Amino acid sequence: MLFIPLMIVLFVIIIILLPSYLKFIDTSYEKASGNSFFEIFSDKGNWGEFKIYAKLETIQIKKYLMTNLYIPTDKGHTTEVDLIMINQRGIFVFESKNYSGWIFGAENRKQWMQTFRNGIKNQFFNPIWQNKGHVKALMTASGLENPNYYYSYIVFGDDCTLKDVTVLSDEVKVIKQSQLTPYLIRDLKSMPSILTYQQVNTIYANLKRYQLADDATKALHVEKLKAIHNK
């Protein structure tokens, strides 16, 4: 008697997972990140990064996409960069925030706020500042030290509402996942080519060593983050 209910449950699971799995295998994300389908589907943060990667992959320009880079900082730590896109127009640095709820924040404020209808509120570190730290580390690691060649995109999940978010810098965008493709295509069309193909290839080669980090590197990164937050 248990066989039929079990088959029904299995069928429902397949129906739910199949579209996402087909989308996953249609991208190069697993090769770029080292994460399997179940590793990203079971983790909201990883799932948000995958959705951004999949959107970037569809943009028809010559580019390199890289994800989950563990870049050394000048303080002896590492910083984890969610995604970058390298092309002749510069280096585009993406910070994924696959959040829900209402989002409040400003570029010049250290803490942002996530609120829910039930009254629960969560503070989180300014993602613009966070991505600024990523850019600083990338400038050293890539060999491209001109800050004008970097563009920062903070990408929130579509389940959230950007209720009151203030951005002051032209090179910074705070958007939702569904806005990423049209915003980026518009921006790319308005930007001149500032890098040669050789420079693009060199930047990619310089950063490639920081992709697909081993478990020891990831564990040390988490350990140092905990130590910083516990101070």
For 194-203, the pLDDT digits (tens) are 999 999 999 9
| Helix 127-142 × helix 197-208 angle, to 10° | 100
Domain definitions of the chain by residue range: 61-229
Structure pTM?
0.89
Q: pLDDT value at position 219?
A: 67
CB 110 within 8 A of CB 125: yes
Question: For residues 183 and 160, what is the distance between their CA atoms, to the nearest angstrom?
Answer: 18
Q: How confident is the model at residue 229 (pLDDT cuts 50, 70, 90)?
A: low
pLDDT at residue 101 tops 60: yes
Which residues are within 8 A (CB) of 15 and not within 5 positions of it... i.e. 6 or more apart?
Answer: none
Residue 88: pLDDT over 60: yes
Q: Residue 46 and residue 19: Cα distance in Å, rounded? A: 17
Range with the poorest average pLDDT among 44-53, 121-130, 209-218: 209-218
